C-alpha cells in the first residue's frame, strides 16, 4: 500500500501522484489493487469520507489535528487524487466516528431518470407503469402510472402488505375506492391510506390520460 509524503506530514505531492497516477485513481483495499479509471462506487471512498466529515461538522483542520495527517493530504484523498494506507484510513474513520466497512457499503443515494426507470407490470389495464425507486429497496417503493382513459387496477379490489400507501395525482383524475368509501382525486390531490384495506382505482375520463405517483412504505 502506498503512503504519500503528504500523509506522513510532508509538503510534497503523494507517492502515487509522483508515479504517474491520474486524479480519480486510487489504491483500494489491503491488496493494493489499482483501478484503471473504471472505478465502481465501492472504491470511491473519498467523497464518502468528505460527506461523513461534513455531517459531523468537522473541518479539514479538525481532522488533520485528530489524525496527525496534513490538511492537504486529506483534501486530496476526499477528491480521489491520492492513495491512502490502511493505517491512515483507520485513523481517519476513527476520528470521524465511522467504521471502515461503511465506506464500501452500497450508496444510499440513487438517481433515477424517467427515461431509464424500468417498466413494471402489477396487472390492471390501460397502464404504463415505471418503478422510480431501486429494485432492491425494502424501505420505500414509488411507482409512476400513466393511466389511459377507462384504465385502472381492474374490477376486483386488492390489498398490499405494507404499512402506508399514498397516491398523488399529477395529471387528470382518479377515482379510488377503499372498502365502501370512494374518493375522487384531481391533479394536485394526495390521498394517504392503509394498503391493507381493500382498494381499487380507475380513470373515469373517456378522453384524458391520468398520471399518478404511488408511494408504498415499506416496499411490499
Least confident residue range of 14-23, 191-200, 205-214: 14-23
Q: How far is CA 4 from CA 8, 27, 172, 211, in A?
A: 7, 11, 60, 55
Q: How far is CA 52 from CA 3, 71, 82, 94, 214, in A?
A: 22, 16, 18, 12, 32
Residue 24 confidence (pLDDT): 31
Task: Look over the chain and give the mean of its residue pLDDT values, rounded to a whole number.
Answer: 81
Q: Average pLDDT, stretch 162-169?
A: 97
162 burial level (CB within 10 Å; 0-12, 13-18, 19+):
middle
Residue 35 confidence (pLDDT): 28
Reported as a single tens digit per residue, the pLDDT across 21-68 is 323 333 333 222 222 233 334 467 899 899 999 999 999 999 999 999
Better-scored residue on pLDDT, 192 or 42: 192
Residue 43 confidence (pLDDT): 61
Nearest to 29 by CA among 89, 80, 93: 89
- Percent of the chain's residues with pLDDT above 90: 63
Segments of the chain assigned to CATH 1.10.260.40: 15-104
Nearest to 185 by CA among 176, 177, 195: 176
Q: How far is CA 168 from CA 63, 74, 144, 171, 211, in A?
A: 45, 45, 10, 9, 9
Q: Average pLDDT, stretch 109-125?
A: 89
What is the C-alpha separation between 170 and 148, in angstroms, rounded?
14
Segments of the chain assigned to CATH 2.60.120.10: 119-217
> Domain 119-217 belongs to what architecture?
Sandwich (2.60)
CATH number attached to the domain at 15-104: 1.10.260.40
What is the C-alpha separation between 91 and 113, in angstroms, rounded?
38
What is the C-alpha separation between 212 and 34, in angstroms, rounded?
46
Task: Say how many Å lie between the first and final Cα of the chain, rounded.
Answer: 45
Residue 220 confidence (pLDDT): 85
Amino acid at each position: 500500500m502506498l503512503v504519500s509524503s503528504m500523509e506522513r506530514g510532508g509538503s510534497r505531492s503523494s507517492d502515487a501522484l509522483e508515479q504517474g497516477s491520474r486524479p480519480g485513481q486510487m489504491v483500494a483495499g489491503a491488496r493494493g489493487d489499482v483501478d484503471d479509471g473504471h472505478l465502481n462506487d465501492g472504491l470511491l471512498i473519498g467523497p464518502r469520507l468528505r460527506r461523513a466529515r461534513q455531517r459531523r461538522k468537522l473541518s479539514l483542520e479538525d481532522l488533520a489535528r485528530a489524525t496527525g495527517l496534513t490538511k492537504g493530504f486529506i483534501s486530496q484523498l476526499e477528491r480521489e487524487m491520492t492513495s491512502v494506507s490502511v493505517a491512515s484510513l483507520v485513523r481517519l474513520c476513527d476520528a470521524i466516528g465511522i467504521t471502515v466497512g461503511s465506506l464500501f457499503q452500497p450508496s444510499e443515494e440513487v438517481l433515477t431518470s424517467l427515461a431509464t426507470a424500468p417498466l413494471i407490470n402489477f396487472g390492471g389495464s390501460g397502464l404504463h407503469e415505471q418503478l422510480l425507486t431501486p429494485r432492491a429497496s425494502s424501505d420505500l417503493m414509488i411507482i409512476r402510472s400513466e393511466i389511459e382513459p377507462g384504465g385502472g387496477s381492474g374490477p376486483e379490489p386488492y390489498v398490499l402488505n405494507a404499512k402506508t400507501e399514498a397516491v398523488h395525482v399529477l395529471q387528470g383524475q382518479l377515482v379510488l375506492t377503499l372498502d365502501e368509501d370512494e374518493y375522487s382525486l384531481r391533479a394536485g390531490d394526495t390521498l394517504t391510506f392503509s394498503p391493507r384495506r381493500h382498494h381499487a382505482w380507475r380513470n373515469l375520463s373517456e378522453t384524458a390520460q391520468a398520471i399518478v405517483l404511488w408511494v408504498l412504505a415499506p416496499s411490499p
